[in-house]
Amino acid sequence: MKRLFLLVCMLSLAAAASAAPEVNIVPKPLSVEAGDGFFTVDAATVVVVGKDAELRRVGQLFAAMIEPVMTRTLKVKASADGSKIALAIDPALGEEEYLLQVTPAGVDVRGGSPKGVLYGLQSLRQLVIEGEGRVPAVTVKDKPYFGYRGAMLDVVRHFVPVEDVKAFIDIIAMHKLNRFHFHLTDDQGWRIEIKKYPELARVGSVRKQTLVGSNRNSNEYDGIPHGGYYTQKQLRDIVQYAADRYIEVIPEIEMPGHGMGALTAYPWLGCRGENYEVWTRWGISKDVFCAGKDSTFDFLQNVLSEVIDLFPSEYIHIGGDECPKVRWKECPLCQQRMKENGLQSEEELQSYFMQRIEKWLHGHGRNIIGWDEILQGGISKTATVMSWRGSKGGIAAAKAGNKVIMAPNTHCYLDYRQTAQQEYEPLGPTRVLTMRTVYALDPYEQLTPDERQYILGVQGNLWAEYMPDFVHVKHMALPRLAAIAETGWAYDRKDFADFGRRMQQFRKVYDSAGCNYATYFFEGKDE
């Protein structure tokens, strides 16, 4: 009889366990403990924030997030009886850490800061949308693995209007990323208003036409001028919009290469000093900023003075990638600069260039990030390296004691095709990065435990040569950005099969937010 009783109990427990609702959260939380029952978020539910003005703003953001599945926008109040979602700051938690507790009686979301609370609400958002308001009882304890979790958007090759930039920031926030890398200047245009140099916006922001088809084999152009830039008022608005979602905007001003937008506006910045034109093709121009003229550095410092006034970020990205040295080899002033400073190669001249800019930025309270080519000729220990040519640059930088952000093209270039079935994909680079490949990123590749301390985090990049509009941007970013986010947030607990299961529900968040996305991964057509 006793054995029978025990058997019945075990079967009952097994049945209860099997009946327990799945909790699907992306990125994967640190721990999830299922409870009993459900809480229903409906028109009567109130978001309770006490007297904290910042929590009130966070609560209003959450109410807007779930509005598509509600009959009306939830009220946000200092206090309330009845059905409520209570928000609070818990000093015992880390800044980005949160505790989400759902019971049939209500919801509590606590964070170490308002940022942590918002992350908890992003998780709750997923549960509300998945269940259409019916949220399973659960306790979620969570915090990110890496401190730097970013996404880059190139707005040079194809200009992105302000409202779409804000929509991209919302997508970043949805994935619990915390950095927006804003690629603002390149050979194909200059996208930021600089008041001291108005020709940058008037002349440097416009190319006379754009390549049609692949850069590898096309000589056809559309014959239509393409331009656009952000005013300083618009940029301040974008920065504030991101800050309201606890996202830091990192501007990138390319140098010493990828500067044709600036050289066209002010020809004296180049070694040749004349006959420059904003590029209409993709690729790399031989014309770069002249390293032999002090006026070049005066110009860049004046530009950066306005940049740092607009962007309060810890970092300023100064490029440093793909800088041909042909003009420097031909330029008497560059060669004289090398002689005066005992530089043995043009690679060392690039190092001189970057270190001079870095010194100026340090003097103004900022740190630099550069692409991994800044390792050429030697760099200071205070420079942060963003590794894009695979992981080798980041590995070398970490071994040398420099901070590193891993963004290798082998895993993080989200403009690459998502499936080998080419008939499904729009025009773009031929390389394929499936969801599985993106998810397989290991930021610690080939590093010892001591060297791992230099890896700050990860970033997904979207280069826009073949993305003429924001619909295309979203198609390439989603859902693969979720794989980047999970590596950044949950590196120590990644499981691709489990990730795939959770993503089947997470796509409902994309649907709710009105985001188009590629469906190959969900249909099993990406591999």
Six-digit token string for 368: 């630099």
Give, in order, the Cα–Cα distances in Å from 322 to each of 186, 250, 377. Answer: 11, 20, 14
User: Does the residue 215 lie in any domain?
Assistant: yes
Same domain, yes or no: 182 and 293:
yes
Chain centroid, CA 351 distance in Å: 27
Same domain, yes or no: 91 and 164:
no
Same domain, yes or no: 131 and 160:
no
Report how many domains make up the chain. Answer: 2
Same domain, yes or no: 85 and 187:
no
Q: Nearest to residue 436, comparing CAs of 526, 336, 341, 515?
A: 526
Burial pattern 31-67, b for ≥16 Cβ within 10 A else e, equals ebeeeeebbebeeebbbbbeebebbbebbbbbbebbe
Backbone dihedral region of 135: left (phi > 0), alpha (psi from -120 to 50 degrees) or beta?
A: beta
Same domain, yes or no: 126 and 193:
no
Same domain, yes or no: 244 and 123:
no
Which residues, other chains included, contact 7 with Cβ-Cβ below 8 Å and sequence gap of 6+? none
Q: What pLDDT score does 11 carry? A: 42
User: Does the residue 304 lie in any domain?
Assistant: yes
Instruction: Return phi, psi of residue 433, to 5°.
Output: -125, 100
181 assigned to active site: no
Which residues, other chains included, contact 502 with Cβ-Cβ below 8 Å and sequence gap of 6+? 24, 25, 26, 28
Collapsing DSSP states into helix, strand and coil, what is residue 232? helix
Catalytic residue among 108, 170, 186, 415: 186
Helices 294-310 and 232-243: angle between axes, nearest 10 degrees: 50
CA gap 473, 469 in Å, rounded: 7
Last residue of a domain, one of 142, 174, 191: 142
User: Does the residue 505 lie in any domain?
Assistant: no
Give, in order, the Cα–Cα distances in Å from 522 to each of 151, 419, 506, 516, 517. Answer: 22, 12, 11, 13, 10
CATH of the domain at 36: 3.30.379.10
Helices and strands counted in the chain (H then E): 18, 19
Collapsing DSSP states into helix, strand and coil, what is residue 163? helix
Same domain, yes or no: 193 and 333:
yes
Q: Give the domain extent around 433.
A: 148-498+516-523
- The DSSP call for residue 425 is S
User: Does the residue 504 lie in any domain?
Assistant: no
Contact criterion met (CB below 8 Å) for 230 and 224? no
258 assigned to active site: yes
User: Does the residue 13 lie in any domain?
Assistant: no
Contact criterion met (CB below 8 Å) for 482 and 28? no
Same domain, yes or no: 62 and 192:
no
Tens-level pLDDT at each residue, the chain (527 residues): 444 444 444 444 443 334 456 899 999 999 999 999 999 999 999 999 999 999 999 999 999 999 999 988 999 999 999 999 999 999 999 999 999 999 999 999 999 999 999 999 999 999 999 999 999 999 999 999 999 999 999 999 999 999 999 999 999 999 999 999 999 999 999 999 999 999 999 999 999 999 999 998 899 999 999 999 999 999 999 999 999 999 999 999 999 999 999 999 999 999 999 999 999 999 999 999 999 999 999 999 999 999 999 999 999 999 999 999 999 999 999 999 999 999 999 999 999 999 999 999 999 999 999 999 999 888 889 999 999 999 999 999 999 999 999 999 999 999 999 998 877 888 889 899 999 999 999 999 999 999 999 999 999 999 999 999 999 999 999 999 999 999 999 999 999 999 999 999 999 999 999 999 999 999 999 98
Catalytic residue among 322, 347, 348, 442: 322
CATH of the domain at 216: 3.20.20.80
Same domain, yes or no: 75 and 218:
no
CA gap 70, 65 in Å, rounded: 10
Backbone dihedral region of 132: left (phi > 0), alpha (psi from -120 to 50 degrees) or beta?
A: left
CA gap 212, 289 in Å, rounded: 28
Q: What pLDDT score does 424 carry? A: 81
Q: Which helix (H) or strand (E) holds 181?
A: strand 179-183
Number of CB atoms found within 10 A of residue 120's CB: 27
User: Does the residue 204 lie in any domain?
Assistant: yes
Same domain, yes or no: 244 and 377:
yes
Last residue of a domain, one of 78, 107, 142: 142
User: Does the residue 3 lie in any domain?
Assistant: no
Last residue of a domain, one of 142, 170, 191: 142
Catalytic residue among 258, 411, 472, 475: 258
pTM: 0.95
Six-digit token string for 389: 């040519």
What DSSP line would sit under 448-505, residue for residue? -TTGGGGEEEEEEEE--TT--SHHHHHHHHTTHHHHHHHHHHHGGG--HHHHHHHHHH
Which residues, other chains included, contact 107 with Cβ-Cβ below 8 Å and sequence gap of 6+? 39, 41, 84, 85, 86, 100, 101, 124, 135
Give, in order, the Cα–Cα distances in Å from 371 to each of 252, 257, 283, 304, 328. Answer: 11, 12, 16, 18, 20
User: Does the residue 14 lie in any domain?
Assistant: no
Number of CB atoms found within 10 A of residue 437's CB: 18
Same domain, yes or no: 157 and 276:
yes
Contact criterion met (CB below 8 Å) for 391 and 410? yes
322 assigned to active site: yes
Q: What pLDDT score does 7 carry? A: 44
Same domain, yes or no: 434 and 300:
yes
Q: Which amino acid makes up residue 149? A: R
CA angle 296, 297, 302 (to 5 degrees): 105
